[in-house]
Structures are given as structure tokens and as C-alpha cells.
Structure 1
Amino acid sequence: MNRFLKSSRVKWISSMLIVMVVSVGLLGFNNDDKRNFSIIKNLDIFYTLFRELNSYYVDETNPEKLIKTGIDNMLESLDPYTTYIPEDDMEDFKFMTTGEYGGMGSLISKNGEYIVIAEPYEGFPAQKAGLKAGDKLLEVNGVHVVGKASSEVSELLKGAPNTPLKLKIDRPGTNKPLTIELIREKISINPVPYFGMVNDKTGIIILNNFTQNCSKEVEKALIDLKENQGAQSIILDLRANPGGLLDDAVKIVNLFVKKGSEVVSTRGKVKQWDKVYRATKEPVDTIIPLTVLISRGSASASEIVAGSLQDMDRAVLVGQRSFGKGLVQTTRNLSYNSKLKVTTAKYYIPSGRCIQAVDYSNRNEDGSVGLIPDSLISEFKTFGGRSVYDGGGVSPDVKVDITKYGNISFALVAQNMFFNFATDFCIKNKEISSAERFKITDAIFDNFKAFVASKEDFKYESATQDALKKLKQTAKREEYYEKSKAEFEQLEKLLKLDVQKDLNIFRKEISELLGAEIIKRYYYQKGAIKYSLQEDEELDKALEILSDPSKYNGILKGTVLSHAGDKRGIK
């Protein structure tokens, strides 16, 4: 480490001096000498601390790791969206913003000690080469991968387009390993995984994320539904969409509102981030009845689209209150091909409200953050005069309670029961009926129950058992447990799990999850979506509203009661 210090000390000192000088130059514009001195002082402390640590710490240290840890912890004290992106992570960052990467086009997951193919994307190299969900990866280009982490294997699978990839796999149902060779391609994931008609009058467009040019995909879907499939009303599904690029959010709103309409504005500490975003093109359709599906996982750009359309009384929102991310990030270039994604502003939708739900600027003494208090939540009005509120996400006009799954369903997913059963099912069944007609029959469900029963390592706790465990811990701390030990033991016996019984109790939700996993094996992602839309409460509610013009228009005009005017969207 001393060699490192001797060879790089001049570079370090020079770099730090440059940083200090630049800081003084930039901050001099603020004419705040005290603040400038504080920054220079603390940068000097940081440098000298780092120097002494490397010189005298008892064990060898990793300078890059130490600095990265320091940067990450510094940024974590601000908000979760201000992040440092080192050069090594640039490919992942590019994928998040563009939806593109070089590889074979498949999801992978950890299943025991193996990395398995979880879902090959239809039409991409993995699927075209014959890879199937459930295939276990043994080698990637000659590198043994059993026991490796998913992230390590993912890096081996990715690579420049037109480069070869040789995989050795263990396929369930075969006697010996298979070798599959393919050529990597530029993988571009369509942000609109599905659009189509859900009845004879209504079309649905599902948007998974706001990557570059996703607005073009939404526009193509909208035009196709209107002109080729006869859609007279539209459902835009933004459920669990985490957001992405603001520009594309504006363009999607523009499809449904007049040119020149204000969609969103941003305001920050630095005036250059104060900007008004307007619809700049002629819309596709400003009058077609429109509903937007949102959920707790709808965030950022999703909330701009949903909130703007709500503020302009252009769409009826159905579902649950959205996440509440009203912060805008800008990417700044750093040295050595790294970047800083920094929160620079808050966004405000047309009514004037900011839907940011968490107050990161005023932390509690323990460093935690909480929701913006009700006392600071303000009322705003949509263009038609309906009440809406800031500080708590976007509240739907029509609230649909979220489906709550039983603990057994979570355990079945987490322990790969659905996935592994579907793999066995496909070995025994070369084909099934269409995605729209496929059902989990009594025979299939009984086979699944037998499959779970055969797995001795399958374990789970019910919510009641979990509550009892916590009660026992509390009783022991307060010294009540020994006095009531017999009663606790009796209660434990009464609550002892019967897996087969619980499988029957939660059959409906288990069948839905199992069916979607099986359908994916035969009809890929589009098939799974078609299957899931058959049992969809939010979709059914949206269709009900669109089928009743008086109710649809009444909600938009405020003559029919909605939940948009409830603080935080709570009944």
C-alpha cells in the first residue's frame, strides 16, 4: 500500500486542489464565503483522513472500495434516487434508460445451487436456439457456473452483439447435458408487452416502463386499436410501472390532449431546472373515453401521466393510490466515465400539486424519513373543479382494494414450487389449449398438491402463526409466558399448519399463479398476460365504468362520487 501512496500521492494532492479551486470558483457566484470555507475545510479533512487511513490501518485496504462506500453513504443521506454510477455499472444504467443490451434475451433466476432459465423472451436468440424455462446452466463459454451468483452469470451471458455464446445445460427430463450455441444480439425489450381488445369495444395498452421512445410504442398501439381493431374506448395499464424518462411521459399524455396543453412543470434550487413541459404535437384522440389503471407500484413518470390526465379531467383513474415520487433526476457526467444521477427538482402536474409523499429534507433524529404530515397537505382543483391533494401520490377516482395473497402463496413462489411444477408439467404435456381457454382443472390442482406434499423441505408460516410467535416473544420479555405456558402450547397445536388444507383454502389465488406460470411455458409473456386479464378486478371495474357513459362522465364532472378527493386516497 505504501507503493501505492508514493506513486499516487502527487495525483491525489493535485486532484484535491483542483476540486477545491473549482469549488471556490463555482461557489463564488453565491457570494457565501462561510459556505465556501466549510466545503474546502471538509474536503481537506476527507483527503487527510483517507491518506492517514491508507498509511496506518492495520490491514490492506482497497482505495476504490473505500471511496465508493463513502460516496454511497453520503448520497444515501439525501434521497434514494441520488446515486453514483461507476463505469462498471454503465451497461445496467443504459439498459434501464433504453431497454437495450447485448445478450441472448432471457430472464435467469437462482434455483438451489443452479442458475436456471426463468423465461426466454419470444423471438430472441435464447428462444430461437431452443432454450426452455427450467434449463439449468452448467457452463457459459466454458466457464463452470454451478454455485455462482445470478449477477456473475448474467455478466457472462451479456456481451457485444454478433458474438458467440456456448452453453452447456442440464434439461429436466433428459439423460445427459445438452450443448446449445447461439449468437448474441442487441436485445431491445418492448415497453409495451401487450395491447389488444378486451371486449368488442374496448382496447387495453399495457406499459411496463418509460424507456426511450416508449411513447412511440404506445402511439402505435393506440392507432392500431382504433383503426384496425375498432376500439371505441381505451384502458392504459400503468400498474407496477416504476417510471423512467419524463420526456416520454409528456409525449404519452400528448396523445390524448390538445397541442399546447401544459402537462407538467419542474422547479428546483437552480433556476435552469425550472421548466414547463407542454404537448408539442397534434394528439391522436382527445375525446375517446379513457381509463388509467394505477397501483401502489406506479411511480414517477407513471404518476405524471396518470396525474396529468386526471387534473385535465381527461381520464378516470382506477386502482390504488400511486407510490408518490415527485422528484426529478438529472444525470451529470463525472470523470473516468462515471455518472451522478442527482435529484435536481420536483415536478408539478397541471393542478399545481406535487405528489411527492416522503419528506427527505426533514429527517427524524434517527435519520429515518416519514410521510409529509397531513397538516402540510393542500387541496387543489382539476380543470373541472374536482378536489385533489398533493403530498401523497395520485389517488384513483375509483378505488379497488388490492388483492392480498395468503402466506402460503408467497411461500410457493419463493420456494419455486410453481416454477418447478410447471417444468414437470411441460415434460408430460407437449401442448395445451389457448391462453384464453386454459384452466387449472381439478386433476391439475390435485397433481400440484401431490407435488408440494412430496417436497419435504417446503415450509411456511401463516400470518396467525407469525403473530403468535411475536406474542410469545413479548410474553417472555414481560415474564407472562411461564404463567400461561400451557395455554400457549395448546394454541400452537390448534394452529399447526395443514399444508393440504391451506392449498384448498387458497385454491383460487394459487390456481391463478400456477396457471400464469404454466401458460408462460407455451405462449410466453403475451400468453401469460392474456391469461391474467381473465381474472382482473381493476380491469373489470374499468370496463364497467367505460360501459356506462353517464357514470364515466359523472366522475369526470364531479357529479359522481370518487376517491380522488380523499386525502392520501383513503376511504
Structure 2
Amino acid sequence: MKLHQRKPLLVLLTLGLMAGLLFSFAYKNDKLFAIAKNLDIFASLVRELDSYYVDDIDPDHLFTVGINAMLEELDPYTEFIPEENSDDFRLLTTGEYGGVGALIGNRTGINMVLMPYRGFPAQAGGLRIGDQFLKVDTVDVSNKETSDISRLLKGPANTAVDVQVKRGDDTLTFNLTRKKIVISNVPYYGKIDDQTGYIKLTDFTTNAAADVRKALLDLKSQGISRLVLDVRDNPGGILKEAVEIVNLFIPKGKEVVRTIGKIESVNAVYKTSKSPVDKDIPIAVLINERSASAAEIVAGALQDYDRAVLIGRKTFGKGLVQTSVPLSYNAQVKLTTAKYYIPSGRCIQAIDYSKKDENGNSSIVPDSLRSEFKTKNGRIVLDGAGIEPDLKVDSKSFAPITFSLVARNLIFTYGNEFFRKHPSIVPPSEFEIDETLYQDFVAWLEDKEYDYTTYVEKSLEDLNKYAQREPYFEEIQATIEALKKKVSHNKEQDLITHQDEIKEALREELISRYYYQEGVVEASLKHDEEVIKALGVLGDQQQVRQILTASVKK
């Protein structure tokens, strides 16, 4: 092309570039003007409210409500953290705080100890599950919110706090000394059988990878040759910890996850940086619908490298990355800055918060728009809806009578009374609810209220409600009533029919009184369907190889 022929093209390109830059500049200025304008309007509004509103206003409360309402338009993970909530936020991210080391909560309108953590001041000082809070120091907390009691119990390490509780008919006072509380991400690990190790990973706070590494090395020293890693009900946490946990099983230099956002500074590729502890040990990872975020990165990366068999149910589907940004006056905002993509290239985010219907509901990625990706061995995996297991295990449903006994805190209350009468029980792996103990529980229930509606009874109630709208209702009313009487539940019979699952709920409740969180996890393994499935799979290495190759259909 000759020079004079190229000139018009160069002029057009130059003009186009200038127009684009001007448009971008104008758009940015318009956006900044809109932000400044609306901030001025908001500040003016609050000033006028403070001057003219008939009652006194609380500016802190109004601003917090306004900020939270604004953030609700985005996604549920972007949140404002005022200065007074910074300790709670620090606990979520680091697992550390100054306090007495106990999980507290409200049962049937009463604030009580739900679980003292072993080795910390609450447990060492004598507080027990079921103790009802009366006072913290000189403050009457019997009618306080649980969050207020928690705040009073926390404080600098090595400071004293008096806790008054009601236990049965007794009122007791404990003088505790607060300590720096560091909650382990691995509340339990151990051997399920002679060859299989088990690690329960509940969080991804600071030191999660170190906790898993320590457990893995200890189990290997005990001679395990296969591993079950349990991330069920794990809400996730620090991304770096997830990368380091994957690195325990994946060679150095492998990509684990990449983050991609609107600005360059949040874009990053995270790779394994160390030699693995064991790159060959067969692994089963247990997942469910409450496994999210960092838990999904670990499960997804190990699946993408065909390094582990995933067992359970589809995970939550949180493929968004949050960053904490400091604000004025020690406040913070935790905001979504990027999406993450695991080694196959898929993003597992299940909900599109940028698209909402007329009712303000966010949309779920439809199956028709999910894209296919491939694992290292060529297995097909999909994006857009969490991590799907290689072997599915349906969720366990409980009979209405079991649900009622748990929801009404009857099993919990019986556990408190049992603990007061029995100073010790055998280890968790040996403890069972025998017939004598179960009949004692049944007798204890005789004067307790725990009525419930069975699934069939609920269906008949619905049928009766809808049938009343029909002109022929009178003709079938007698039949419906006869059916109601026929299927009406018998609590005594249900206690026999569903005794296995009631015994299991009772067993774990009683064990928690003596062996705390670790004991509950250990006790649950014997009857855990996903654990049993994992043992069967890991015991057949030919099946493991078949699952982790592309030729096998899921």
C-alpha cells in the first residue's frame, strides 16, 4: 500500500482512538460526578433529618442501615464491618481471639454453653455444656442477646472474668482467666482402620495448611496407606491456605487456582511452591452442599488433577474472591473483587448476582449454559454449579419424631441430666446406646411434649384443605377422615420403628459431654455413609483407577 493510500486509514484510526479515549474519560467523569452528587445528597439528607425530624436520630445506626441496604444490592459476601465488629471478623479470618474458649448459643430462649473447647479456660475451669448464663462479671445477662454475652466474655489475654451460671438447681460462679484462643482447623484426625487415615477439616483460617500437614505426617508415621479428607460443611476461608493444602498432594509448580477481576492488581495465578508430602497416597475427599469457597478449591483442584475421588453431594458453588479493604475510623469492607478458576479452567460460581429478575432475585446458571472442561486424564467436568462428586451419596433424611426430639432440645436436655449422674463413659469408638439406656430415655420422655406431623399426615392435611374447595367435598370427607385415623402416628410405636436413628442422635449428644467436639466426630465415623463408601472405594485400587480415567461414565 502506498503512503498516500495509508493516510486516510491512519487518520481514521487516530480519530477512532481519540474518540474512544474521550468517551472513556467522559464516562469515568460522569461516574465520578454521579458518586459525588449522591454522596452530597445523602449527607444533606442526614443533616436535615438531624435538624428537623420530630425525634432524635442515631446517625451511626442510620448510616449502618443505609450502607447495608446498599451492599445487599450486590452479593451476600460483600459486607460492611464497623469497628465494633472487628474482633468477630478477625476470628473468622484468623481463628484467634482473646476469651474463654466456648461456643455459646440460645436454646429454647435460654443462653447457654453449647460446647467448651478442650484445653481452654471454659473447659479447664469447669463450665459444661448446658450451663445457663446468669451473669458475666457484674452484668446480668439472663435476658441479653447471645452476641452481647460473647462480647462480654472476650477480652485481652490474661485478664479475669467471673461467670455465673445455672446448672440444674444449682447456681455456680467460675473465675476464669482469658487466654489467646486459637481454634484448630482440624478438630479431629485419626485412623479409621489399620490402613486408612481420616482428617476432618472444618475451616480455612490461618494455619489451616499447617494443621492438615501435621495431621497427615502423624497419620503417615502410624502407617496409613490411604486417606479420607473431609471438607463437608466447611464454609471456606483464606485462599492461600487452600493452595498450600493442595500442595501437600500435588507436585511443585502446578497451578491450583487463578483469580480474575476488574482491575489488574487482583489478577493472580497461585501455584504449588513446595515439594508435596505425598503425591501418591490414594485420597477420597468428602463434600456436600455446605462445602464452599476454599473447600471447593481444594476438592476441585484435586479432582482436576485426577488426584482424589470425590464422594458425597454437589458443593455450594461459591467461585467469588473477597478482599478486606480498610475504611476510615477502623471500619472495613469485605468486598468481592474477583472470580476464581481452578486448574481445568472452570469457575464453579452457581449464582449470577449481576443479573436479577423483577423481584430482585439473582439468577442460577442454567444447565444449558454450563460449559464442559476436562481433567488431566480427560474426564469431562462442568462449570457454573459447584463441584460435583465422582460418587454421589444421597443426603440422609430423619423421621419426624427424631427431628422433633432434636428441635425441642429433648435429646440435649437428657444429655445434661445424664452427664450430672454419670462421671464417665467408655471412649467414643466403644460407646453405644444399649437397650437399658434407650428404655431409660423413653421413660424420661413420658411427661415431655414432642408431638409432630408425619409426612403422610401432612399430605392428608393438604388434601383436606384443597378438597374443601371442591363441590364434591362432602362426598369424600368421610373417606379423608378415615384415612387420617388410619395413618395417625403412634409415638410409642415410632420410638421403636425409628430407634436406630434416635439412638445415634442420642449417642453423639452424650459423647459430646465427655469428649467434646473431637469425640463427636470420632463417634460419627462408624455410621457415616460417606465414610463407609470411601473405605470401600479406597480398598479397591482398580476401582479408583477406573473412576479417575476418562473412560468411566459418572
TM-score of the alignment, normalized to the shorter chain, above 0.5: yes
Give the aligned partner of residue 19 of structure 1: none
Count of residues paired in the alignment: 532
Question: Structure 2, unaligned stretches of length 5 or more?
Answer: 1-22
Compare 256-265 and 437-446 and name the one that shifted more: 437-446
1:502 offset after TM fit, Å? 2.1
Query: Would the alpha carbon gap of residues 544 and 113 (structure 1) be closer, same or farther in structure 2, given more than 3 Å must change?
Result: closer
- In the alignment, what sits opposite 2:266? 273
Q: Compared with structure 1, are the counterparts of its residues 369 and 155 closer, same or farther at alpha carbon in structure 2 (3 Å cutoff)?
A: same
1:551-562, aligned counterparts within 5 Å? Answer: 551-562=543-554
Q: Which residue of 2 aligns with 1:225?
A: 219
1:379 matched to 2:372? The reply is yes
Greater Cα radius of gyration, structure 1 or 2: 2
| CA–CA separation in structure 2 for the residues paired with 1:313 and 1:481 | 60
Distance 2:461 2:332 in 1: 46
Report what 2:530 is aligned to.
538
- Bigger shift: residues 137-146 or 461-470: 461-470
CA RMSD of aligned residues (A): 2.0
Question: Within the alignment, does 1:50 sit opposite 2:43 as a pair?
Answer: no
The one-letter code of the counterpart of 2:302 is L
Following the alignment from structure 2 to structure 1, what is the Cα–Cα distance between the partners of residues 26 and 188?
Answer: 51
1:463 Cα deviation from its structure 2 partner: 2.9
Measure how far apart 1:29 and its partner are.
6.6
CA displacement at 1:286 relative to structure 2: 0.9
- Taking a change above 3 Å as real, the CA distance of residues 240 and 176 of structure 1, as seen in their structure-2 partners, is closer
Contact in 1 for aligned 2:111/2:146 (Cα 8 Å): yes
User: Are residue 438 (structure 1) and residue 418 (structure 2) matched?
Assistant: no
Whether 1:504 aligns to 2:499 is: no
For 1:94-109, list aligned pairs within 5 A.
Answer: 94-109=90-105
Matches within 5 A, 1:344-359: 344-359=337-352
Amino acid at match of 1:124: F
Please name the residue that 2:126 is paired with.
Answer: 130
The answer for the alignment partner of 2:199 in structure 1 is: 205
Q: What is the CA deviation profile of residues 231-254 of structure 1, one whole-angstrom value per residue up to 9, with x for unaligned ones?
A: 111111101101000000000001
Between the aligned partners of 1:483 and 1:89, the Cα distance in structure 2 is 62
Distance (Å, rounded) in 2 between the aligned partners of 1:88 and 1:480: 63
1:436, distance to aligned residue in structure 2 (A): 0.9
Give the distance between the partners of 2:193 and 2:303, measured in 1 at CA. 24
- What's the secondary structure of 1:534's corresponding residue? helix
Once the two structures are superposed, the pairs formed by residues 325-336 of structure 1 within 5 Å of their partners are 325-336=318-329
Aligned to 2:134, the other structure's residue is in SS state strand
In structure 2, the residue corresponding to 1:64 is in which secondary structure? helix
SS at match of 1:256: coil
Kindly indicate whether residue 389 of structure 2 is the aligned counterpart of residue 392 of structure 1: no
Aligned-pair distance for 1:191?
Answer: 0.6
Measure how far apart 1:414 and its partner are.
Answer: 1.9
TM-score computed with the length of structure 2 as normaliser: 0.92
- In structure 1, the residue corresponding to 2:356 is in which secondary structure? coil
1:480 CA displacement: 7.3
Shift of 1:524: 1.7
3-state SS of 2:351 partner? coil
Q: Does 1:216 align with 2:210?
A: yes
> 1:405 offset after TM fit, Å?
1.7
Q: Aligned in 2, Cα 1:163/1:481: closer, same or farther, shift over 3 Å?
A: farther
- The separation in 2 between residues aligned to 1:515 and 1:350, in whole angstroms, is 42
Superposed counterparts of 1:20-419, under 5 Å = 32-172=28-168, 176-226=170-220, 228-419=221-412
Shift of 1:280: 0.9
Q: Deviations over 1:395-448 (max 9, x none)?
A: 011111111122322222221111110111122222222211111111111122
Q: 2-side partners of 1:466 and 1:279: how far apart?
A: 53
Shift of 1:499: 2.3
2:516 is the counterpart of 1:524:
yes
Compare 178-187 and 469-478 and name the one that shifted more: 469-478
2:75–2:353 Cα contact (<8 Å) kept: yes
Cα distance in 2 between the residues matched to 1:558 and 1:387? 7
- Give the deviation of 1:304 after TM superposition: 0.3
Q: Distance in 1 between matches of 2:487 and 2:46?
A: 56
- 1:38 alignment partner AA: A
Q: Is the 8 A contact 2:108 2:409 kept in 1?
A: no
Letter of the aligned partner of 2:158 in structure 1?
Answer: N
2:369, 2:126 → 1: CA distance? 57
**1:1-20 superposed matches below 5 A:** none
Normalising by structure 1, report the TM-score: 0.89
